[in-house]
Amino acid sequence: MWLQRQIALRPFTQGLHLITDDIVRALPELRQCRVGLLHIFIQHTSASLTINENADPDVPQDLETALCELAPEDYPYRHTCEGPDDMPAHIKAALLGSSVTVPVTDGRLRLGTWQGVYLCEHRRHGGQRKLVLTLQGDAAAVQQ
């Protein structure tokens, strides 16, 4: 089975936002995949994706704080035409990356107990973000 779908996420504020449930809701066919991979790609250069802890809300806040220290807005960037948060957003996106791949087993994402997929919105007003979801795997009946 190969399936590809584009989804649009609602606009988020700057920071890391758990989107695992949004992804699962967008792919009801996931339940039919016995074993496979889900590739998640973001079509933007000022936002990124990561997999990280989904239990303690301090984790995404601390990650955002650390990223802002690594790419501060007050650095003397040359690319400034889109506002002071744009070039730092590009740097953060380059550090984290534009895609993640998650194993699929018996119709479910095979994330660890404390893992979730995060949209990392690096702009203050990034707007709607688009993801391309590509599911590949064995479409045999799910084992119970």
- How far apart are alpha carbons 79 and 94 in whole angstroms? 15
Structure confidence by residue, pLDDT tens digits, 21-64: 999 999 999 999 999 999 999 999 999 999 999 999 999 999 99
Q: Which residue carries 């190969």 as its tokens?
A: 2
Short-list 130, 134, 91, CA closest to 11: 130
Domain boundaries, the chain: 2-138
Residue 142's pLDDT is 45
**Residue type for position 39:** H
Q: Which residue carries 């802890």 as its tokens?
A: 53
Read off the pLDDT of each residue in 78-82 and give the average, rounded to a whole number. Answer: 95
Structure confidence by residue, pLDDT tens digits, 68-79: 999 999 999 999
Instruction: Assign domain 2-138 to its CATH architecture.
Output: Sandwich (2.60)
Q: Global pTM?
A: 0.94
Average pLDDT score over the chain: 96
Encoding tokens for residue 119?
Answer: 């949209």
